[in-house]
Amino acid sequence: MTMLGENGKEDYTEDGTVDLKGRPVLRSNTGRWRACSFIVGYEMIERMAYYGIASNLVLYLTKKLHEGTVKSSNHVTNWVGTVWIMPAIGAYIADAYLGRYWTFVISSGIYFLGMCLLTLTVSLPMLRPPACAQGIADKDCQKASSLQIGIFFFALYIIAAGTGGTKPNISTIGADQFDEFEPKERSQKLSFYNWWVFYILIGTISAQTILVYIQDNVGFALGYGIPTILLVVSILVFVLGTPLYRHRLPSGSPLTRMVQVFVAAMRKWKLNVPIDSKELHEVSIEEYTSKGRYRINHSSSLRFLDKAAVKTGQTSPWMLCTVTQIEETKQMTKMLPVLITTCIPSTIISQTTTLFIRQGTTLDRGMGAHFEIPPACLIAFVNIFMLISVVIYDRVFVPVIRRYTKNPRGITMLQRLGIGLVMHVIVMIVACLIERKRLSVARENNLLGPLDTIPLTIFILVPQFALMGIADTFVDIAKLEFFYDQAPESMKSLGTSYATTTLSIGNFLSTFLLSIVADLTSKNGHKGWILNNLNVSRIDYYYAFLALLSAVNFICFFVIAKFFVYNDDVTRTKMDLEMNPNSSKHKAEISQVSYN
């Protein structure tokens, strides 16, 4: 039975979403949390698969492939950096050619192939070096051959290619299931990213406890085989929900449209922009509506780009752009300074999967007489505390603070991000103090060998992991929501890829910093801060350096946030149009203006 809206007409969505065949969709039969349950189900299970590999990767490289501290840490951050830069390519393909759904499905197949190959490499003895003899340090064991290393990393980077098409599109598909123009769905969307991360954390914690324990105590063959099976299950869950999904049609290459604006503006740099913005080039509302896109009114920011819409008689897209195209470019461009300041936080987060875990290998891991905690299980504390924090933030903090700020989100997205950046400074200070304590006990007991276990419980590291989880409640969710929310409708996938790009840059930056610091501090006869033997290293100095770097980064972010101008809410303009009888015929036009 067809549901009718308040006006007696069929209750179609108003945000331009369609079904898989490009037809308008009924709100009552599609989208909302019913559709999101399949999408969230996929993401929760897929995160178990991904973190089943990523969480313990540094220990596989050191224990099985016999790599040193710096080399293994850099291999992890290089791979993770690649995993998070590939979504920029996936978003481009989705927005320009295939759409989000088909880009996701094809990429999932590539992802699965990579997981299968990786499982084979850790299962077949010929594809890994022999195990170390008892009492021999990993660095002194037989190294992996070039072929063994090549096949292992080839599998890892196939996985990275697959995640490039899944990661930027799955969260965007989820957000697309809520119609901004329907008040109830709009309210649900405000909490979407909080609960999105909540369910991701359930999958992640499961991987960082159950799967990591299996890898350490049963073997990596089973420990990697289970994530491979889980990935197949997650893909099937997503496909089952297909009839319920709302989709957006590909709107052309967003990067090409942005480049056209910059080229056109530079080619006409000598021209003056008309005082009256109506003299700038723009096409009719009907033309945008026919393509399922929105028209955006002129704003006063980045006025140099307005030159691209100055009419000169030439109609080439590289000489003349519409006002809407320019405004889309402005919205994406003005987020770049924020993107830059969120790279250092990603460098801080990368320590949880590298040096934080390596610290754990030197401590007493015993719980009772017969049970030892795998060091990588400590990452679960990041996600446990993030899980708790997300619920408290959404159910307690936001309702309380909303009474005073009148902001539906409680505080602005950049305020939330800023709080997280401050907490990252605190995290690295705490990590520095804990490492100083670890080294102090090692010296007091003369336990300075590479295989010596320090008589301190591994749980001494919990505060730095727990605080990281609380900080990520502010940083990670605010970052994802900000880049999606502030991107124009036709560039949402690209906006989401901004968030993943910061993770990529942060991990590559971690590789660079770790290598430079290790190299510089070992010159002129000095033993260096970061050695394969952590019991004589000075990682506390490195953590202090990261704390200082985070503090400087926060100051830069504060200045940028102070002057950032948000895009106005598209539904506010729509309601204004509906209240204006003279403008009611233009309901299809969505004017995104700016406000402080």
Per-residue CA distances from 284 to 294, 318, 463, 472 (Å) = 11, 20, 58, 44
pLDDT classification of 94: cutoffs 50, 70, 90: confident
129: number of Cβ within 10 Å: 16
Give pTM, 2 decimals: 0.79
299-333 pLDDT tens trace: 888 899 999 999 988 889 999 999 999 999 999 99
Q: In 336-412, where does DSSP find H-type helix?
A: 336-341, 343-350, 355-360, 379-392, 398-405
Residue range 492-501: average pLDDT? 82
Sequence-ordered list of residues with C-beta below 8 angstroms from that of 435, at least 6 positions apart, any chain? 359, 539, 540, 543
Distance CA 206, CA 591 (A): 44
Q: In this model, does residue 261 exceed pLDDT 50?
A: yes
First CA to last CA distance, the chain: 45
Most confident of 19-23, 261-265, 524-528: 261-265
Tell me what pLDDT residue 135 has.
63
List, in sequence order, every beta strand (DSSP E) within 475-560.
Answer: none
Q: Which CATH architecture fits 27-249+335-564? A: Up-down Bundle (1.20)
Q: Is the predicted pLDDT of residue 461 greater than 50, yes or no?
A: yes
Phi, psi of 394 (to 5 degrees): -75, -40
Look at residue 9 in the predicted model and tell me its pLDDT: 52
The whole-number pLDDT of residue 460 equals 94
In terms of Cβ atoms closer than 10 Å to its own Cβ (0-12, 13-18, 19+), residue 119 is buried
Query: What residue spans define the domains of the chain?
Result: 27-249+335-564, 254-331+573-595
Mean pLDDT value of segment 474-479: 90
Top mean pLDDT of 90-99, 103-112, 142-151, 244-253 is at: 103-112
Per-residue three-class SS string for 455-480: EEEHHHHHHHHHHHHHHHHHHHHHHH
Contacts of 204 (CB under 8 A, 6+ apart): 47, 48, 51, 380, 383
Per-residue pLDDT at 339 exceeds 90: yes
Alpha carbon distance 345, 465 (integer Å): 14
H or E, element range at 120:
helix 99-123
